[in-house]
Structures are given as structure tokens and as C-alpha cells.
């Protein structure tokens, strides 16, 4: 079963990237009863676990694997899923789909995360949280990121895969699209009928999104970010990603494009613009999404003020007290 799905994954990516197939001309975009394109359903992104955000250097500007490389990747994914299923407690299929992409970053052409500006490096140096590779002092709530505190992962990272809880549900109502993200139990409510943007002074953790339709493509523009909420671009278990502390400013703008390409496929593209911290001004992520309405979301029970935050502080204080008392 996994191998059949993986083969479809390779096919699906080529279809979504090229927007063409032997049967593509026969497919008709389904519509909601109120006249907007139907992109609703469960679109989990587990299949991105095996695709690095940043492209390994050996691929240069090549976005897709060769047939030989793709065949090897299919074998690797099958072996990994067999290991997950054969453990003492069989795990859910982590991905089951091998993609031809060499990275999630599509632009710049070399697939690398942009170099930070001097200001970006300054912000990065001041970032804090349990994912900081060298941080050892935890003494107050300000020493923790918004994700440590179970508030939000922020954008753009909420639309990237981690090694678990990768469910994305899209719900539609007249004039609205709601994107429900499993990790950190967040719902992005996006008006699609020309709602006025918020005043610049109004800031929100996940920003404020406004959507519109360009043909069958949903275009979502998000601004009004608060507090530099993104904890970074990396995901546990995803090789080739930059470190977990990539800064963004409140002036960041994210433009997403959702284009359904078949009954079970959709293209996703996300451009992140923040010239204050990104030397080239922006980068773009691209990947295919696959409909899986059998995917189940369970409660993500993380909550602000969880005991882990307290334990970090207590342990840090204890370690520092012992070090100070040592002869």
C-alpha cells in the first residue's frame, strides 16, 4: 500500500508542478454552493517530513530529483515506514509519500535560506527559548518563546511540517476560509470578500489574513504580525534546515497561494517577505498537498503555563546555585 501511495506522490508532484496530465483537461474544479471554489477537507503535510527546507548543496539549483534518485528515495521512505509499523506500538504512517523535491525552498533558485541582514543577526542573537542551542539560563517567562509557552508556532513555520501533529484542515463558509492547524490548536479565519485590512497598530500573534480568489486560486495575504512570534524555520527530524532561531519582524508579509489541481491534489506556495532581516528580501516555499479525509486530529493539550516551563526555571536556578556554591 505504501509503495502505491509513494508512486502517486511522485506522480502527484509532477502533476501539480506542471498543471498537466492525460486526464487533467477532464477534471473540473468543484464549487461551493455560494460560488467559491471548493478547497475544503483535510490536507495533512506528513509527506513533507522527508523533504529538507534548505536544499543540500550537491543539488545546486535542481529542484527535482532524477528518476534514479527518486527511486532510491522511495525505497528509503518504504523502509522507514516499515520500521514505524513494526515497533512494539505500531505508529501511524508518518508520510507514505516520497516527493521529488530536493527542498521546500523554491526561491532563491539554489534553495538556500537567505542570508540575514546585520539587523537580522542582531535580532537573532537576542532570541530566547528552549530551542536555543546554547541557552542555559531560564529565570522568567521572557526566557521562553511563544511556542514554549504553548501560545503559537507563528507563521510561516505553522505551514511547515514537524515530526508529528501535521494536520491541516480547511473549512469554508460563504465569504470565509478557515485554516485549522493541528500543532498548537490554531485556526486562521480568512475573509475572502474584500474585508478592510486592520490598522497597522493592531498586531496579532499569527498576523491578520485577507484572502481573495484569482480564478480557482485562493490568495491569502497576511500582515500585522506581533512580537516577532516565529520561533524559526527548522523542524525536528528535517535535515538541512537552518537553525531554530530565524528572526522575523512585525512588518513581515506572507502571501500564500492554494490551487487545487485534482480531486485529491493541491499546490501550495508561500512567499515570505521581510527585507529588514532577509538580505534578499524574501524567500518562497512550494509543495504539493494531498487530500486525506481519514486523517484524525486529536486535542493538542499544550497550554500556557505548563509545568515544563516551571521545571526549566527551577532546574536552571538549582544548577546556577550549585555552581555558585562550588569551591
Is residue 316 a part of any domain in this protein?
Answer: no
Residue 318 lies in a domain: no
State the residue range of the domain holding 201: 2-125+151-300
**Residue 205 counted as domain residue:** yes
Q: What is the pLDDT of residues 218-269, one digit of tens each?
A: 999 999 998 665 555 544 334 444 556 788 898 999 999 999 999 999 999 9
* Whether the predicted pLDDT of 86 surpasses 80: no
The answer on pLDDT for 309 being more than 70 is: yes
pLDDT tens digit string along 110-120? 999 999 999 99
CA-to-CA distance for 168 and 218, rounded, in angstroms? 16
Count of domains forming the chain? 1
Percent of the chain with pLDDT over 70: 82
**Residue 57 falls inside a structural domain:** yes
Please check whether residue 30 lies inside any domain of the structure. Answer: yes
In a domain, 220, yes or no: yes
Q: Strands, DSSP E only, in 80-224? A: 105-107, 168-173, 176-181, 186-191, 208-214, 217-223
In a domain, 211, yes or no: yes
In a domain, 156, yes or no: yes
State residue 244's pLDDT score: 61
Beta strands in the chain (DSSP E): 41-42, 105-107, 168-173, 176-181, 186-191, 208-214, 217-223, 253-262, 265-273, 282-290
Average pLDDT over residues 28-55: 94
Amino acid at each position: 500500500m505504501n509503495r502505491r501511495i509513494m508512486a502517486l506522490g511522485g506522480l502527484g508532484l509532477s502533476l501539480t508542478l506542471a498543471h498537466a496530465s492525460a486526464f487533467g483537461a477532464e477534471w473540473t474544479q468543484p464549487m461551493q454552493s455560494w460560488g467559491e471554489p471548493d478547497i475544503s477537507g483535510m490536507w495533512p503535510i506528513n509527506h513533507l517530513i522527508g523533504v529538507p527546507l534548505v536544499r543540500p548543496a550537491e543539488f545546486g539549483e535542481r529542484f527535482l530529483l532524477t528518476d534514479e534518485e527518486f527511486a532510491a528515495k522511495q525505497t528509503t521512505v518504504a523502509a522507514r515506514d516499515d520500521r514505524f509499523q513494526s515497533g512494539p506500538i505500531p505508529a501511524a504512517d508518518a508520510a507514505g509519500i516520497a516527493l521529488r523535491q530536493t527542498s521546500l525552498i523554491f526561491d532563491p533558485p539554489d534553495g538556500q535560506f537567505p542570508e540575514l541582514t546585520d539587523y537580522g543577526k542582531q535580532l537573532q542573537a537576542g532570541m530566547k527559548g528552549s530551542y536555543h542551542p546554547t541557552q542555559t539560563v531560564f529565570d522568567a517567562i521572557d526566557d521562553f518563546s511563544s511556542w514554549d509557552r504553548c501560545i503559537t508556532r507563528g507563521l510561516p513555520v505553522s505551514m511547515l511540517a514537524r515530526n508529528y501533529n501535521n494536520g491541516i484542515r480547511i473549512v469554508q463558509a460563504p465569504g470565509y476560509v478557515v485554516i485549522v492547524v493541528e500543532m498548537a490548536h490554531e485556526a486562521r479565519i480568512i475573509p475572502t470578500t474584500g474585508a478592510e485590512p486592520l490598522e497597522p497598530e493592531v498586531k496579532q500573534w499569527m498576523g491578520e489574513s485577507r484572502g481573495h480568489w484569482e480564478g480557482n486560486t485562493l490568495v491569502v495575504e497576511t500582515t500585522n504580525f506581533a512580537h516577532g512570534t516565529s520561533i524559526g524555520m527548522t523542524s525536528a527530524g528535517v535535515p538541512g534546515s537552518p537553525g531554530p532561531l530565524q528572526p522575523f519582524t512585525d512588518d513581515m508579509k506572507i502571501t500564500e497561494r492554494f490551487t487545487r489541481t485534482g480531486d485529491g491534489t493541491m499546490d501550495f506556495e508561500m512567499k515570505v517577505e521581510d527585507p529588514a532581516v532577509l538580505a534578499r528580501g524574501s524567500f518562497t516555499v512550494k509543495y504539493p498537498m494531498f487530500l486525506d479525509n481519514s486523517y484524525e486530529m486529536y486535542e493538542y493539550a499544550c497550554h500556557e503555563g505548563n509545568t515544563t516551563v516551571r521545571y526549566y526555571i527551577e532546574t536552571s536556578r538549582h544548577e546556577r546555585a550549585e555552581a555558585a556554591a562550588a569551591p
